[in-house]
């Protein structure tokens, strides 16, 4: 807070001749220096009772009001001072601009800031702050006059309490919420006056149930800034002053194995530093980590940084997200949506409604992040909105804000308008089992783009229940493979030709244990019509077959080619033989011994579907491997 009248009074004669008024004024100066603002207000009230035109007293009591957050009283006394003498102390217009802004009188704020600048020379720091306030007032006026088409609601007392609550995670189906609670107790850890821990609530009959603490083994002391991986199997959280930490606060991770969280470990690599590192968010593919840090090399207080997972499992040296996102102020609480290209974060250094606001940045096709945009009112307010968690489908979001109590953070929710929603995604949920025993399997799920052959995402099914979850995009084509040691890999594909407002695939995927006589379709081996040269879209699948043969050197396979019934039987037989041989030749060219391979074509003689439909004919055009 910038104070004024003490200096003004010390450096010039006072504008009152009333001795009692001056006496009370001098008392108030002493109280102000001691930060006893209520006492100063009392003395100045008495001074103004003795001399209603005592301008220095008006100025100083305005400071006392501001320090006590008495906005209306401060506004009235400064307006009274300007009415008495509009040029007595020109910084009053700056003070009034801030007060009007805080009181949501945006037109008045804009007018006051303009008057302040029109009156000439300014102190550089004060002028900088006034300029920031002026831009904020213009933005807030525009935002409130053109609000988002949504309403923000506070969650019930089952979630929010007389302590602080911060949203961390909402499950894919919206049935589970995890958040951090900050208890204001003197029984906190490590001498703190508070304690932080994780809370979970389940939704039943469309209502959140009473929340309970999550008991995570090995965690001691305060924890916060938590997020889960897309499949819910990897936890990232912030821990401060742990024995193995590098700095005050570091990022740790824990894995969920067979329903139990493992011992937390600090992230391997270069994410943690001797500075404050916190509030991680992991991309859906697990390859990119976004977090907030106060390390050297940033642009202000705390910045948003990004680290990439290396082939050895360690994290790369972090990259600052640059001035399209970071400002001279603080950027915190990044959240990367599973679409991989929509980043939400909070900032108090960019123009907004006030305090911390939520911003959004989108990554374009060339990998460049757009300039962060304030997501607008009523999601953002003059209070602090410090983190956000959008639903995976982008239709709702949850928010941490102190809007209903400026000293207390609660969790709110709202429906997300399209202009601030992430890109549409398709959620793929499945379960991997042994084809014979039907028991769940831990397996690697790999999704590859058919257009470029690049791996789009990798994940693992849980050993305890076989479940996995992956994210896909509409209007794309993917190869889909599941592999587990000792089993033939599963081959499938997903071709999405139309957008869907809400699409979710759930399927059980049985894997066949490798033994003589079992077979599997290679559903991502492609040929042009009536051709036998392999299309490039086939290479990623054949590379997986190559790895299977390398990892199981004791097996031999037969490669079969099949066609539909279009064309003559003789032609189809020849075509299927040539296609099967093309697959065999590819494997031989990559180093697989010809002694382990054989090929044959069966033409259209072994259909697995009705050839009277295009869908059936497509199923009959296939490449099959059989273990000899």
Q: Are residues 366 and 294 in the same domain?
A: yes
pLDDT of residue 424: 85
The pLDDT value given to residue 7: 47
Q: Does residue 565 contact residue 607 with C-beta atoms inside 8 Å?
A: yes
State the pLDDT at residue 488. Answer: 93
Predicted structure pTM score: 0.84
Q: Which tokens is 554 given? A: 């004791």
User: Are 527 and 441 in contact, with CB atoms under 8 Å apart?
Assistant: no
Same domain, 300 and 394: yes
Token pair recorded at residue 322:
């640059």
- Segment 54-83 shows an average pLDDT of 96
Whether residue 470 contacts residue 459, with contact meaning beta carbons closer than 8 Å, is answered with yes
Where do we find the tokens 């039943």?
204
The neighbouring-strand residues paired with 477 are 495
Co-location of 252 and 385 in the same domain: yes
CATH code for position 436? 2.60.40.2190
Q: Looking at the structure, tell me whether residues 55 and 164 fall in a common domain.
A: no
Rg of the chain in Å (alpha carbons): 33
CATH of the domain at 49: 1.25.40.10
End residue of a domain, out of 113, 145, 177: 145
Categorise residue 437: left if φ over 0, alpha if ψ from -120 to 50, beta otherwise. alpha
Domain boundary among 420, 450, 474: 420
Rounded to whole angstroms, how far apart are CA atoms 621 and 616?
9
Q: Which residues of 558-572 are buried (b: 16+ CB within 10 A; e: fewer)?
A: bbbbbbbbeeeeeeb
Write the DSSP symbol of residue 205.
Answer: T
Last residue of a domain, one of 450, 478, 513: 513
CB 318 within 8 A of CB 270: yes
Give yes or no for a contact between 326 and 299, defined as CB atoms under 8 angstroms apart.
yes
Whether 375 and 499 map to the same domain: the answer is: no
Token duo for residue 594: 């010809």
Specify the pLDDT at position 1: 53
Angle at 301 between CA 239 and CA 168, to 5 degrees: 40
Question: Does an H or E element contain 38, and which?
Answer: helix 37-50
Same domain, 244 and 350: yes
318: containing domain: 153-420
217 has a pLDDT exceeding 50: yes
Give the per-residue pLDDT at 567. Answer: 87
What's the pLDDT score for residue 219?
A: 66
Q: What is the pLDDT of residue 10?
A: 47
Looking at the structure, tell me whether residues 484 and 394 fall in a common domain.
no
| Contact predicate 469/427, CB 8 Å | yes
Question: How many residues are given for the chain?
Answer: 628
Work out the average pLDDT over 211-224: 75
Task: Average the pLDDT over 438-454 and give the result.
Answer: 89
Q: Backbone dihedral region of 544: left (phi > 0), alpha (psi from -120 to 50 degrees) or beta?
A: alpha
- Segment 537-579, tens digit of pLDDT: 899 899 999 999 999 999 999 999 999 998 898 999 999 999 9
The winner for highest mean pLDDT among 121-125, 145-149, 258-262 is 145-149
> Residue 198 belongs to what H/E stretch?
strand 195-204
Of 70-79, 229-238, 398-407, 494-503, minimum mean pLDDT range:
494-503
Mean pLDDT of 214-235: 80
Per the structure, the count of domains in the chain is: 4
CB proximity list for 444: less than 8 A, separation 6 or greater: 458, 459, 460, 482, 483, 484
Give the 3-state secondary structure percentages of the chain, helix then strand then coil, rounded to 5: 25, 30, 45
pLDDT bracket for residue 243 (50, 70, 90): confident
Same domain, 505 and 524: no
Query: Which segment of 429-433, 460-464, 543-547, 554-558 scores lowest on mean pLDDT?
Result: 460-464
Q: Which residues contact 612 (CB under 8 A, 6 or more apart)?
A: none
Whether 127 and 41 map to the same domain: the answer is yes
563 phi, psi to nearest 5 deg: -125, 170
Q: Are residues 328 and 187 in the same domain?
A: yes
Per-residue pLDDT at 110: 97
205 and 344, same structural domain?
Answer: yes
CATH of the domain at 406: 2.120.10.30
> Is pLDDT of 183 > 50?
yes
CA–CA distance, 110 with 106 (Å, rounded to integer): 6
Kindly report the CATH number assigned to the domain that includes residue 624. Answer: 3.30.1330.60
Shared-domain flag, residues 503 and 451: yes
CA dihedral sign, ordered 117, 121, 125, 128: positive
């Amino acid at each position: 807070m910038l104070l004024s009248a003490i200096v003004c009074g010390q450096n010039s004669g006072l504008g009152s001749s009333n001795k009692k008024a001056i006496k009370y004024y001098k008392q108030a100066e002493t109280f102000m220096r001691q930060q006893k603002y209520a006492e100063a207000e009392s003395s100045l009230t008495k001074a103004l009772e003795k001399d209603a035109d005592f301008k220095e007293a008006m100025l100083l009591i305005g400071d006392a009001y501001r320090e006590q957050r008495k906005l209306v009283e401060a506004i009235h006394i400064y307006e009274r001072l300007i009415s008495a003498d509009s040029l007595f102390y020109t910084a009053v217009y700056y003070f009034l601009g801030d007060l009007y802004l805080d009181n949501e009188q945006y037109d008045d704020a804009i007018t006051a800031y303009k008057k302040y600048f029109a009156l000439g020379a300014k102190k550089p720091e004060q002028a900088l702050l006034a300029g920031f306030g002026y831009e904020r007032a213009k933005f807030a006026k525009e935002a409130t006059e053109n609000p988002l088409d949504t309403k923000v609601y506070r969650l019930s007392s089952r979630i929010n309490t007389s302590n602080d609550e911060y949203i961390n995670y909402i499950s894919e189906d919206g049935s589970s919420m995890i958040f951090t609670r900050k208890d204001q107790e003197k029984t906190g850890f490590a001498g703190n006056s508070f304690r932080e821990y994780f809370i979970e609530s389940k939704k039943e009959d469309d209502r959140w149930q009473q929340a309970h603490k999550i008991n995570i083994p090995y965690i001691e002391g305060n924890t916060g800034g938590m997020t889960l991986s897309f499949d819910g199997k990897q936890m990232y959280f912030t821990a401060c002053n742990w024995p193995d930490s590098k700095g005050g606060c570091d990022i740790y991770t824990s894995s969920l194995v067979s329903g139990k969280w493992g011992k937390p470990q600090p992230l391997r690599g270069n994410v943690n530093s001797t500075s404050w590192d916190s509030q991680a968010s992991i991309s859906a593919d697990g390859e990119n980590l976004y977090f907030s840090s106060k390390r050297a090399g940033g642009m202000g207080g705390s910045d948003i940084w990004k680290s990439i997972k290396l082939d050895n499992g360690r994290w790369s040296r972090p990259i600052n997200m640059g001035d399209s996102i970071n400002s001279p102020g603080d950027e915190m609480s990044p959240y990367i949506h599973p679409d991989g290209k929509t980043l939400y974060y909070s900032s108090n250094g960019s123009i907004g409604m006030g305090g911390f606001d939520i911003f959004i940045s989108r990554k374009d096709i060339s990998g460049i992040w757009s300039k962060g945009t304030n997501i607008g009112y009523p999601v953002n307010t003059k209070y602090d909105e410090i983190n956000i968690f959008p639903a995976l489908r982008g239709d709702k979001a949850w928010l941490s804000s102190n809007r209903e109590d400026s000293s207390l953070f609660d969790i709110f929710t709202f429906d997300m308008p399209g202009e601030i929603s992430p890109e549409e995604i398709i959620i793929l949920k499945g379960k991997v089992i042994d084809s014979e025993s039907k028991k769940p399997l831990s397996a690697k799920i790999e999704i590859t783009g058919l257009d470029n052959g690049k791996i789009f995402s990798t994940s693992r099914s849980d050993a305890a229940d076989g479940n996995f979850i992956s994210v896909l995009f509409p209007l794309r084509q993917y190869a889909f493979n599941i592999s587990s040691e000792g089993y033939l890999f599963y081959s499938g594909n997903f071709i999405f030709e139309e957008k869907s407002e809400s699409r979710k695939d759930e399927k059980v995927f049985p894997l066949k244990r490798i033994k003589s006589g079992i077979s599997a379709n290679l559903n991502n081996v492609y040929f042009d019509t009536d051709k036998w040269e392999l299309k490039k879209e086939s290479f990623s699948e054949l590379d997986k077959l190559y790895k299977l043969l390398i990892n199981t050197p004791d097996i031999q396979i037969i490669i079969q080619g099949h066609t539909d019934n279009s064309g003559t039987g003789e032609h189809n037989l020849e075509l299927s033989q040539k296609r099967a041989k093309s697959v065999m030749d590819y494997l031989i060219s990559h180093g697989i011994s010809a002694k382990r391979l054989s090929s044959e074509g069966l033409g259209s003689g072994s259909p697995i579907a009705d050839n009277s439909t295009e869908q059936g004919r497509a199923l009959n055009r296939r490449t099959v491997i059989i273990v000899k």
